[in-house]
Amino acid sequence: KLDRLLTVTRSENSQVIPQGSPALPTLQAHVLDMHRLAQSEKEICQVAFQASHITALMGVITGVITVCSPQGVITDASLLCRKWKEATDQFTEKIPSKLTEVLADYGSTAQPQEELLLLLTCGSASPGLHQFLCSTLAEGWVRRLAKAMDAACATVHATLNEKVLAAVEVLVVRLGEVRGLARWHRRADPIALRAHPVAEALALAERVHITATEVLRATAIAAARYRAFFVWLLRSIRTLDKEERQNQADAAQTPTLPVDVLAVAEFLSDQFEEERLGPHLLVGPPCEEAGDPLSEGRDACPVTPTREPGPKDATGSNGAADTLAEVLQRVEQGSEGPCWDPARGERGRAGNWLLVEVVQQLHARCAEALHQTEHALSPSLQPLTTVHLSSAPHNDIHLAHAHSPVDANVQYFAFHVAQGSASDNPAGEHAQVVAVVRLTHQAGGDAGGSGSAPTTAAACTIRVPADEGIVDVGYYKDAQLAMLLARTASDPHRNPPGEARLLLVPCAGLPFVPLALEDGTDVLQQCAARGACVTLSTDPIIPAETRGRVIQMVGACPPLAVSGTRGVACTLAGNRRMLLYDLVEDEEDEDEDEDEDEDEDEDEDEDSDDNAEEEEEEDDPDDDD
């Protein structure tokens, strides 16, 4: 079990710096109490596994509609939404806006919707509408707009079907598994996993699935209506074209396009004035006053310029539009059954949910449900011991960690730094040291089983000569410290510069001294003050038990990889060489020598036995005689 965790942090610590001195980055090692996490290790792993998948799925769902900051704030619409907005803006610019301008130029105050409905029902076009269809718009723009809207609808439909719905279905399954774990109170209570927030997230996920399905249907209906409208518009342009009317032969050869009048009427009455899919895809502007960036999406985005209604004629009505309104009302009543449009958004039905709104609510609810375990367990990670390692600024400090082979409550970790400064050492040869810290965790703890047993610390330093530099360190088996050293200065009487050597130093024989954890001095200062320092070249403690090997390769560089189970060490030399060394070769040689001695003794014994048997066989004939 993971009862304790050793972490190393770099921070600004003003407590260990004299008042008035500049703040320096401090390196500290913390031993954290992981007893509570160890008790619920399986449950935490299950929640973390599900949380990683849920986070990835939410990234897929939200990425389809919005672009969010790391804090979850909407910063922009997605590429899909921008493509849809470009297509609808082009449609608005070329048909409703242009038609409004042309009608105004001809002195007409009628709405574009009224003119098109009049053309659909009666087949007659006003001069302004005739000019717009035959000259301003023409067949070329109708075909372009038809292709653009058809491509936009197809993209939205495919994305919702292949990404959003597929991800939401898997998300519902994942949240259901988390809810099942949360309802198991014996396992969920220690990690503070509550079923109610998870159930709310699951309900929102189901709502997202329903809304996405309805938006998918609305997209298919909108695409069909756009196609029917453009087909009817293209046929109307051909019918109103004077050149085709004058040439009867050409008119007879022109194929008649089939038109779905009901779909065109529904498009003009509902979809022409108000674009229904935009709010679902975050096309509408956000509402800043309400504080909710999604509240504005409840109002449909108008695509037709607002104008005052036209004056009534002599009969007291608005012309054919009033008569047509009754027909369209019957059409809408007849289509409420199997052809109900979920994009209309009637209150009290599922259509009043905006896709972007429920997706953002689901994102927030999932984060709340999954982070409750983190918020509950974070206060339990209290440091048992804090060791101040160093106060000097170091850019690269490497640490190595190992456990004692004899006592599981004893662990070692080592780090190497460069000591001295240019003023202290004019020659520029900065001696480097390796600090070895031994942590002893006292067995037991409080009666409640919190695992917070006291921890003591001891340390010593290993000094490296000035003409050598520490490349890297790592722990081998039996708490032996592997040190990779390299020559940094040339000496005609010694090995050439750049040559490296690999040492195995046993930590059990080092002169450790207890550390005072409250006085504010770091490990290096306390070891220097108490004389807990040994040098590789002069001290008799280390060379007697240290095993070493010279690496005949210039340019050894970190990292140093050491494997205690396989008994090998690996390092890099240059740019294209990797050196692999057998660390147990000496042990194997000793075993082989012992085996050879035993084999020789056995051979001598066998030879003596054979000679004795031959002598007995020679004596047997004499005995018979």
**Is the pLDDT reported for residue 171 higher than 90?**
yes
Number of C-beta neighbours around residue 35 at 10 A: 20
Instruction: Count each helix (H run) and each strand (E run) in the chain, helices first.
Output: 17, 20
pLDDT for the residue 496? 55
The DSSP code for 594 is: H
10 Å CB burial of residue 522 (0-12, 13-18, 19+) is buried
In tens, the pLDDT along 393-442 reads 555 566 666 655 556 678 888 887 655 443 344 333 434 788 888 888 77
Q: How confident is the model at residue 316 (pLDDT cuts 50, 70, 90)?
A: very low
Among 93, 56, 79, smallest CA distance to 366 is for 56
Nearest to 366 by CA among 63, 62, 64: 62
Record the pTM. 0.59
Q: Are strands 455-464 and 533-535 parallel, antiparallel or unpaired?
A: parallel
Answer yes or no: is 354 within a domain. yes
Residue 61, domain member (yes or no): no
How confident is the model at residue 480, as a pLDDT? 81
pLDDT tens sequence across 479-533? 788 888 877 655 555 555 567 778 888 887 788 888 887 766 788 888 888 888 8
- Amino acid at position 153, single letter: C
CA-CA-CA-CA torsion for 304, 306, 308, 314, nearest 10 degrees? 10
What SS3 string covers 389-417?
EECCCCCCCCEEEEECCCCCCEEEEEEEE
pLDDT confidence bin for 367, thresholds 50/70/90: confident
332 and 411 both lie in a single domain: no
Q: Are residues 153 and 223 in the same domain?
A: yes
Tokens of 145: 């707009």
Indicate whether 153 and 120 sit together in one domain.
yes
Please report whether residue 403 resides in a domain.
yes
Interatomic CA distance for residues 568 and 280, integer angstroms: 61
What is the chain's length? Answer: 625
For the chain, give the percent of residues with pLDDT over 90: 8
User: Does residue 81 carry a pLDDT above 70?
Assistant: yes
Question: Is the same domain home to 402 and 345?
Answer: no
Residues 393, 518 share a domain: yes
Q: What is the 3-state secondary structure (H, E, C) of 91-121?
A: HHHHHHHHHHHHHHHCCCCCCHHHHHHHHHH
Q: For residues 181 and 193, is the Cβ–Cβ distance under 8 A? A: yes
398 and 538 assigned to the same domain: yes
Element spanning 265, H or E: helix 261-266
- Check whether residue 545 and residue 483 sit in a common domain: yes
Whether 383 shows a pLDDT value over 60: the answer reads yes
Asked if residue 240 is part of any domain, the answer here is yes
Q: What is the mean pLDDT of the chain?
A: 71
Q: What is the predicted pLDDT for the residue at 205?
A: 92
Instruction: Please write the tens of the pLDDT for every residue from 551-577.
Output: 666 667 777 888 877 778 888 776 666
SS3 612: helix
Domain membership of residue 608 (yes or no) is no
Q: Are residues 325 and 388 in the same domain?
A: no
- The verdict on residue 58 lying in a domain is no
- Amino acid symbol at 395: N
Average pLDDT on 343-353 reads 45
* Same domain for 324 and 471: no
Within-domain flag for 409: yes
E strands along 516-593, which residues?
A: 533-535, 547-554, 556-563, 568-573, 577-582
**3-33 pLDDT per residue, tens:** 677 777 776 554 444 444 444 557 777 777 7
| Cis, bond preceding 559 (omega within 30 deg of 0) | yes
Q: Is 90 exceeded by the pLDDT of residue 377?
A: no
CA pair distance 414, 492, nearest whole angstrom: 33
Alpha helices of 11-137 — where are they, by DSSP H? Answer: 35-39, 41-65, 79-92, 98-105, 112-122, 127-131
Does 110 lie in the same domain as 20?
no
Return the half-sphere exposure (C-beta side, CA atoms, 13 A cut-off) of residue 435. 28
Q: Are residues 239 and 342 in the same domain?
A: yes
Q: Is residue 168 over pLDDT 90?
A: yes
Tell me which amino acid residue 559 is. P
Question: What single string gives the DSSP state of each residue in 414-466?
Answer: EEEEE---TTT-TT----EEEEEEEEEEPS---TT------EEEEEEEEEE-T
Q: Tell me: do 412 and 534 sit in the same domain.
A: yes
Domain assignment of residue 181, yes or no: no
Number of domains in the chain: 2
Q: What helix, strand, coil percent values describe the chain, rounded to 5?
A: 50, 20, 30
Give the domain extent around 561.
4-34+381-420+430-583
